[in-house]
Structure 1
Amino acid sequence: MNSILTPFRLGGIASPPRPRSIALVSEHASPLAVLGGVDAGGQNVHVAALASALADRGHEVTVYTRRDAPDLPDEVPLRPGVTVHHVPAGPPESLPKDELLPHMGDFGQHLAQVWRSGPPDVVHSHFWMSGVAALRATRELGLPLLHTYHALGTVKRRHQQLADTSPPQRIALEREVGLACDRVVATCRDEVDELARMGVPSSKVCVVPCGVDTSLFTPRGPAMARGPLPHRVLQLGRLVPRKGAAVSIAALALLPDTELVVAGGPPADRLADDPEVRRLRALAEKEGVTDRVRFTGGVPSREVPPLLRGADVVVCPADYEPFGIVPLEAMACGRPVVASTVGGQLDTVADPGTGRLVPPRNPEALAAAVGELLADPGARAACGETGRRRVLRRYCWDRVGMATEAAYEKAVDARPAMTGVI
């Protein structure tokens, strides 16, 4: 039976573990990235926040991410206790993550070279290609390795089919990482079941959800200015088809007196050149809602809370969602969420307590749920208050950091019995 280390069930650690040197490997998702691009989203937030939460608990954390610009320094202090290390692997330019696999050998070789002179106590890789690189180095040096997938190739293949641009080796390599690492840190229960179908035993898996910064994401503070319409619905995240913005636009046609703000994608001055934005604008024109859809482009992290506070309802209608940070951010800001019944959203969004869950790819169901909330200010307020309490109890980063730390300790303590290596 898998070990569930969700923060709200973790009663605390009997005695604080000693400070450790922790390596977080995140090959394409730098904690320094601007959010909203094709390959910059929840994983970037997760890695940055987890690193900070671990540093707050006394650990020294280094995040290893690929150098994607020639002028980046070798190391950048992110905050006290956290350093970002840029790894030379492939050309120093931005590349789609699906083109990075050929460079993971160099990435792993660099990790091994750095760690030979100063090995970390624990390595935690994020996303499957980071696992491939980290596995090479940890095998060579005998270091404990934990892995978080953030997304699984089997799920992507199932939903995207021929549109899946992942390397053909992805699923086999994901299975290899899951079987070879010391422990898999899954982010939701749905992922545990998917891993079991891949052949990764649940006995190797613990569940620690993603978290949210409850001091930044709060109901109090400035809100994005409203337009002339009575209601505003917000969709926030990367502008890729699976996030379901097309579903939101189709639903908007059934929601009079409502504007839809779509935040994410390239910078505002480059929206016109983005294929997904062009597709969505064409759909808005077809649905007759062009004047009620606003695209903001990529949003700096400091502007996200005001965006959320300015919405009546936040929608997360993804076709599939490995975890989904936006529902937590919205609930932390006291906003009701209408989300599709997929992945981590099944864990985070409580229907009817914090919002509504609807089938994916169903504009009518989305419109009905959103319309119900827009028509009832009292229900919106109640959902917002319940959502804030739920986040504080289960998903704040200090609790996620504590649960992750417990997973590290369990992996390190078990390692001598498994391999004879400390």
Structure 2
Amino acid sequence: MTATAGSLTAAPDAGGPGSLDIALVSEHASPLATLGGVDAGGQNVHVAALAGALADRGHRVTVHTRRDGRELPDRVPLRDGVEVHHVPAGPPEPLPKDELLPHMDEFGRQLVRVWRSRPPDLVHSHFWMSGLAALHAVRALDLPLLHTYHALGTVKRRHQQLADTSPPQRVALETEVGLGCDRVIATCRDEVAELARMGVRSDKVSVVPCGVDTELFTPQGPAAPRGPYPYRLLQLGRLVPRKGAAVSIAALALLPDTELVVAGGPPAHRLDDDPEVRRLREIARRAGVADRVRFTGGVPSRQVPALLRGSDVVLCPADYEPFGIVPLEAMACGVPVVASAVGGQLDTVADPGTGRLVPPRDPRALARAVADLLGRPATRTACGAAGRRRVLRRYTWARVAAETEAAYCAVLEAATAVTEVV
């Protein structure tokens, strides 16, 4: 291992173990990507924010992501202390993430080439294919590896069944990553149980949640203009069936005097060509609520807080949700959340303190919970204030980085102890 106890000296003003060279591997989710596409969402935000928060603690961070454009430079500074490295693996063009597996061997070989001359102190891979590439490299160079899945193939297959487009060997390869890395950093408690069923011992897992930018997402600031209806609901995120927008539309039919804004997906000028938008519009037409559903298309991140603040309740009715950043963003803005009781939302949404948890795929349960909040303004205000307090106490990126750093240190110290014994 390259890191020793001597490298963990105190860094100025960081409050942590000192300055480490950290490699984050995120094969499809670049921190430079434009959000809102099918494969660009929470993981991109997570990797970018974690890298920045680790840099704030005095570390040097390089994010290794696949080159998906011919014009991209080899390396791009993201901010002080953080650099993005575009790894040549496969054609230099955008590819769906489910088509990237054949290029992971090359990704791993490129990491070996780069790290052989300048090895990082540790590697932290994100998503299972990044884990495969990183595992190949760390085994060749004897480097410590931590891994965050962000989503598990076992869960996706259980919920999507034949609609799951993941490579058929995904679960077996995810298990290989979990057994081969030094530590798994899970994002919620539900994931720990899932990993145990895969054979990954719970004592090898640290639970560190995702975070939220509490300076961008605040209750103070402009709110998006309201429509003609007394109440507004918001569903925000990628427009894929598992996110449950169809459930929100069905629930809207039971909620008079209420509009639903669906934010996400392609740019506004391409909405008419999007298959999922067309499917959802047809569902709204059949439910008799087409005039009360508005699709905005993809929204720049800086405009999201105003959308949240302009809503009475934020809906997160996904079939399953490995973590779910939208509930945190809503809570940080002081807006109550009604979410499906799945995955990471079981951890983040405190029912009844910050919102409500309902069964997935149940429009009536969703409508009842929303109607209860809409009918009680004082409760909505209290839930919003409690949500903000909960985020500040548990989900700031500074806290997430500190807990991630603690997992790093545990792995480095264990490796040092083994080396000293040998």
The TM-score, its normalising length taken from structure 2, stands at 0.95
Describe the superposition over 1:249-295 as per-residue Cα deviations: whole angstroms up to 9, x where unpaired: 00010111111011111111111111111110110101011111111
- Runs of 4+ in structure 1 off by over 6 angstroms are 419-422
Which position in structure 2 is the counterpart of 1:163? 163
User: What amino acid does structure 1 have at the position aligned with 2:310?
Assistant: G
- The alpha carbon displacement at 1:416 in A equals 3.7
Which position in structure 2 is the counterpart of 1:46? 46
Describe the superposition over 1:116-144 as per-residue Cα deviations: whole angstroms up to 9, x where unpaired: 11111010000000000000011100110
- The alpha carbon displacement at 1:374 in A equals 0.9
Which position in structure 2 is the counterpart of 1:77? 77
Does the Cα contact within 8 Å between 2:150 and 2:187 map onto a contact in 1? yes
Which position in structure 2 is the counterpart of 1:10? none
User: What amino acid does structure 1 have at the position aligned with 2:307?
Assistant: L
Query: Structure 1 CA distance, aligned partners of 2:94 and 2:334?
Result: 36
Query: Structure 2 CA distance, aligned partners of 1:421 and 1:114?
Result: 30
Describe the superposition over 1:305-361 as per-residue Cα deviations: whole angstroms up to 9, x where unpaired: 111111100000000000000000000000000000000000000000000000000
Which position in structure 2 is the counterpart of 1:96? 96
SS of the aligned residue for 1:260 comes to strand
Q: Alpha carbons of 1:300 and 1:201: their partners in 2 closer, same or farther (altered >3 Å)?
A: same
Which position in structure 1 is the counterpart of 2:243? 243
Which position in structure 2 is the counterpart of 1:147? 147
Query: Structure 1 CA distance, aligned partners of 2:420 and 2:104?
Result: 28
Which position in structure 2 is the counterpart of 1:122? 122
Does the Cα contact within 8 Å between 1:34 and 1:301 map onto a contact in 2? no
Does the Cα contact within 8 Å between 2:233 and 2:314 map onto a contact in 1? yes
Structure 2 matches for 1:12-411, cutoff 5 A?
16-411=16-411
- The alpha carbon displacement at 1:417 in A equals 4.3
User: What amino acid does structure 1 have at the position aligned with 2:83?
Assistant: T
Q: Alpha carbons of 1:305 and 1:15: their partners in 2 closer, same or farther (altered >3 Å)?
A: closer
User: What amino acid does structure 2 have at the position aligned with 1:120?
Assistant: P
How many equivalent pairs are there?
409
Does the Cα contact within 8 Å between 1:234 and 1:263 map onto a contact in 2? yes
Q: Alpha carbons of 1:15 and 1:30: their partners in 2 closer, same or farther (altered >3 Å)?
A: closer
Does the Cα contact within 8 Å between 1:182 and 1:415 map onto a contact in 2? no
Does the Cα contact within 8 Å between 2:15 and 2:57 map onto a contact in 1? no
- The alpha carbon displacement at 1:16 in A equals 2.8
Does the Cα contact within 8 Å between 2:37 and 2:266 map onto a contact in 1? yes
Query: Structure 1 CA distance, aligned partners of 2:136 and 2:208?
Result: 25
Structure 2: runs of 5+ lacking an equivalent:
1-13
Query: Structure 2 CA distance, aligned partners of 1:356 and 1:187?
Result: 21
Does the Cα contact within 8 Å between 1:185 and 1:208 map onto a contact in 2? yes
- The alpha carbon displacement at 1:91 in A equals 0.9
- The alpha carbon displacement at 1:37 in A equals 1.0
SS of the aligned residue for 2:295 comes to strand
- Higher relative CO (CA 8 A, sep ≥ 6), structure 1 or 2? 1
Query: Structure 2 CA distance, aligned partners of 1:233 and 1:35?
Result: 22
Q: Alpha carbons of 1:274 and 1:420: their partners in 2 closer, same or farther (altered >3 Å)?
A: farther
Query: Structure 2 CA distance, aligned partners of 1:366 and 1:128?
Result: 32
Which position in structure 2 is the counterpart of 1:4? none
SS of the aligned residue for 2:225 comes to coil
Q: Alpha carbons of 1:377 and 1:326: their partners in 2 closer, same or farther (altered >3 Å)?
A: same
Describe the superposition over 1:130-173 as per-residue Cα deviations: whole angstroms up to 9, x where unpaired: 00000001110011000000000000000000100000110000
SS of the aligned residue for 1:360 comes to coil
Query: Structure 2 CA distance, aligned partners of 1:17 and 1:181?
Result: 22
